C-alpha cells in the first residue's frame, strides 16, 4: 500500500517517538524509580527535549493532513462541476440543433444555412462531450445523445415515408428563395451520420438476454400479444 507524503511523515514521527521512549525503557525500566527530585527533573527534561520537537512536528503533519483532505474533496467537486458543465453545454447544443432543423410541424427545413448550422451544432456538441472525463457523466451524455439521435432519425424517416426526401429537388428548395442556396454535402453527411449508431460503440442491448421459454409463459393479459408475437417469430424467423 502506497502512503501519501503526510502519512509517511506521520509514520516516521510515530516511530521516533516510540523509539525514544523505548530506549529509556531498555536502559532504566529494571531500575527502581528515583525519589530524588533532581533526577526526576532530569528525566522530565529528557522527555521534553526528545519528544517536544517530535510532537510539534506531528502537530504540523496533522495540520497538513487536515488541509490536504478538504483540498482533495474540492478537487473532486471541481472535476464534477466541470464535467456537468460540459454535459449541459453539449446537450444544449443538440437541443438547439434539433430545434433549428425542424419547422413547427416537426419536418426538416430545406435551407442551406439551416443544415450548416445544425451540422456545426452537432459537431460542437461532440467536441464538448469529448472533454467529459468522469465516466458517470459521460454515460449521461451518451444517453442524452441517443435521445436526440432518435429525434433526428424520426424527423428524417417521416420525410422518407411522405416521399419528399428521395426527391433531389427537395434539397434545392432553398434556391427558389435565394440563388445558390442549395444544401451543402458536408452538412448532409454530418446530420445523416449522427442518426446512425456510432461505429465501435457497444450496444447496451447486446448484454440483454432474450426471453427463455420459461419466462415467456407468465406473459399473460396485456402482454399475451407480445408472447404470441415472439413465439411466432422464433418459429418462423422470416415471416414471424
pLDDT, tens digit, 9 for 90 and up, residues 99-137: 999 998 888 888 889 999 999 999 999 999 999 999 999
Least confident of 1-10, 94-103, 175-184, 200-209: 1-10
Cα(124)–Cα(81) distance, integer angstroms: 20
Task: With H, G, I as helix, E, B as strand and everything else as coil, classify residue 108.
Answer: strand
Over range 213-220, report the average pLDDT: 85
Over range 66-84, report the average pLDDT: 78
Over range 147-164, report the average pLDDT: 77
Q: With a cut of 70, say whether residue 235 has pLDDT above it.
A: yes
The predicted pLDDT at position 240 comes to: 47
The predicted pLDDT at position 6 comes to: 53
Nearest Cα to Cα of residue 184 among 119, 98, 103, 93: 119
Q: Which letter does DSSP use for residue 164 in this model?
A: S
Over range 218-237, report the average pLDDT: 84
Least confident of 20-34, 181-195, 218-232: 20-34
| Whether 59 contacts 13, CB under 8 Å | no
The predicted pLDDT at position 163 comes to: 46
Selected residue with higher pLDDT from 37 and 93: 93
Chain mean pLDDT for the chain: 78
Q: What's the whole-model pTM score?
A: 0.60
Amino acid at each position: 500500500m502506497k502512503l501519501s507524503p503526510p502519512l509517511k511523515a506521520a509514520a516516521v514521527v510515530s516511530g521516533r517517538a516510540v523509539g525514544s521512549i523505548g530506549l529509556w525503557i531498555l536502559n532504566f525500566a529494571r531500575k527502581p524509580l528515583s525519589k530524588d527530585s533532581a533526577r526526576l527533573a532530569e528525566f522530565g527534561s529528557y522527555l521534553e527535549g526528545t519528544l517536544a520537537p517530535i510532537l510539534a512536528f506531528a502537530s504540523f503533519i496533522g495540520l497538513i493532513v487536515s488541509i490536504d483532505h478538504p483540498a482533495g474533496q474540492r478537487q473532486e467537486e471541481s472535476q464534477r462541476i466541470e464535467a456537468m458543465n460540459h454535459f449541459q453545454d453539449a446537450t444544449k447544443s443538440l437541443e438547439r440543433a434539433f430545434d433549428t432543423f425542424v419547422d413547427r410541424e416537426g419536418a426538416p427545413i430545406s435551407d442551406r444555412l439551416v443544415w450548416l448550422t445544425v451540422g456545426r451544432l452537432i459537431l460542437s456538441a461532440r467536441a464538448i462531450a469529448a472533454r467529459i472525463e468522469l465516466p458517470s457523466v459521460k454515460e449521461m451524455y451518451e444517453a442524452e445523445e441517443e435521445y436526440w439521435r432518435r429525434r433526428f432519425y424520426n424527423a428524417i424517416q417521416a420525410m422518407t415515408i411522405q416521399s419528399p426526401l428521395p426527391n433531389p429537388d427537395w434539397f434545392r428548395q432553398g434556391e427558389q428563395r435565394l440563388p445558390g442556396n442549395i444544401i451543402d454535402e458536408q452538412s448532409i453527411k454530418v446530420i445523416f451520420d449522427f442518426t446512425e449508431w456510432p461505429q465501435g460503440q457497444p450496444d447496451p442491448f447486446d448484454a440483454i438476454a432474450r426471453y427463455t421459454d420459461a419466462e415467456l409463459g407468465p406473459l399473460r393479459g396485456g402482454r399475451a400479444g407480445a408472447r404470441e408475437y415472439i413465439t411466432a417469430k422464433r418459429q418462423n424467423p422470416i415471416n414471424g
